[in-house]
Structure 1
Amino acid sequence: MSSAAVRRQERRISPVFLAVLAVMAVTGWAVWTDFAALPGVAVFLFVTSAWIVSLCLHEYAHARTALHGGDITVGAKGYLTLNPFAYTHAVLSVVLPVLFVIMGGIGLPGGAVFIEQGRIKGRWKHSLVSAAGPLANVLFAVVCTAPFWLGMLDGVPAAFRYALAFLAFLQVTAALLNLLPVPGLDGYGIVEPWLSYRVKRQIEPYAPYGFFVVIALLFVPVVNGAFFDAVDALMRSLGVDDLTRYCGSELFRFWEGTPEYCPI
């Protein structure tokens, strides 16, 4: 097989990703048209599948940036196919974030793809590889909230509006958490190339625990309140009011029932 054929094979979009994308499209249509007998179920499937799509795009952004930075091995590892099962930590990258969305309604950062750092030269390139993932979440949030900040909500069904608001909320929380300069998260990957060797060696033993420390801190009321105040402020700056986002969260958890003040 020629090298060009190998590259095409390595970059061919995975059928798994296409299947998830199809679920997102069909359930999005069901939410928009009010086709489903239980709109909450359609919102749940739409938001969950769209969230998985965003996780794939997050990891793809890391891999694609690494490829252009000099790590030509990402293709052989399957990272350019958008297959959620090709990532180094499939549980951390996809399964755990989806479970957190279902249980707590928060966008949890996923595990990063394995990048061969030695192949990437230059501190800026290393920082860009780490920043690419959260930036994918930011762009996803901007797209989801475009009807809000562009004032194009006329004709948008309430259920679909709620779903977009909640999906954007997940993207914002994921981006903010991932951009924290904590070992194990992308935020630390952005600043790490600029740290001295001595500092990096001192931090290195704690890197495997940074992710779990952040999750634990979110259970501290003061930290939790400050974090979600920042998220709500960002959502309002994107034109999404608190009630719309809250209704999206409640409709997503259809098994709890939809409040009367969230008309659909």
Structure 2
Amino acid sequence: MNFIQTLAISALPIIFAITLHEAAHGYAARHFGDPTAWQMGRISLNPLRHVDLVGTLLVPALILLISAGGLLFGWAKPVPVNFGNLRRPKQDMLWVAAAGPGANLAMALGWALVLKFAIGSPEFAYAEALREMALVGVRINGVLMVLNLLPLPPLDGGRIVTSLLPHRAAWKFSQLERWGFPILLALLFLGVLDTILRPLLWLFNSLIRTLFGF
């Protein structure tokens, strides 16, 4: 499969995985009392409202090209959340943060169902393309879910940890947020991030295979 074919098949699951992750944060924030994202028109299932030219389109395309389809990564425009507006800021932060990875889990399960259908159905014109698209959907959502659950601010996992810690420890831990992205980049370039993610993704994929009988 050439790059153009890989890009065409991967585009839909990648865009939805990245953008609906952000939309889920907005829905959860509104539910728990913060209307910021809703007032800015960011609570939407329309991917165009969340697409970031660089993070949603250019970076995933370049990574697909460089890795020959072996790696997927990207981001969308972050949904604005004012945690101070939440009814119980510290406790509700957990649910707002968990909504993004939760959306990725739901999409991974949905794509796994599509894959099960495509594998079990008689061959048809686009059967192979559908199988490949479903595989990408499971893979990208698994990566985004596991990556975002790492306990490092400003990742969702970091906000979940902040929510669970006592107030003083939570405040100190949250100070890591300014260094979160540089730390993540350092882990990526040093190969540590791959070492951390690989066994977690293996476990996730094993659970998917067990659940759906692949």
Shift of 1:79: 0.9
What are the superposed Cα offsets for residues 44-71 of structure 1, whole Å, 9 maximum, x if unpaired? 2231232112222111111011111111
What is aligned with 1:120? Answer: 86
Residue in structure 1 matching 2:56, options 91, 94, 107: 94
Q: Within the alignment, does 1:200 sit opposite 2:170 as a pair?
A: yes
Gaps of 5+ in 1: 1-37, 245-264
Q: Within the alignment, does 1:75 sit opposite 2:38 as a pair?
A: yes
Gaps of 5+ in 2: none
User: Could you tell me which amino acid in structure 2 is paired with residue 59 of structure 1?
Assistant: E
Q: Which structure's CA Rg is the greater one?
A: 1
Structure 2 distance, partners of 1:61, 1:223, is 25
TM-score (norm 1): 0.64
Structure 2 distance, partners of 1:155, 1:213, is 48
Structure 2 distance, partners of 1:93, 1:185, is 16
Structure 2 SS opposite 1:218:
helix
What is aligned with 2:179? Answer: 209
Q: Within the alignment, does 1:155 sit opposite 2:118 as a pair?
A: no
What is aligned with 2:21? Answer: 58
Equivalences, count: 203
Q: Using the aligned pairs only, state the percent identity.
A: 24
Q: CA RMSD in A?
A: 3.2
Residue in structure 2 matching 1:238, options 180, 196, 208: 208
Trace 1:1-264 onto structure 2 (pairs within 5 A): 41-84=4-47, 86=49, 90=52, 94-95=56-57, 98-99=60-61, 101-102=63-64, 103-104=66-67, 105-108=71-74, 110=76, 112-122=78-88, 123-148=90-115, 152-155=119-122, 157-221=127-191, 223-239=193-209
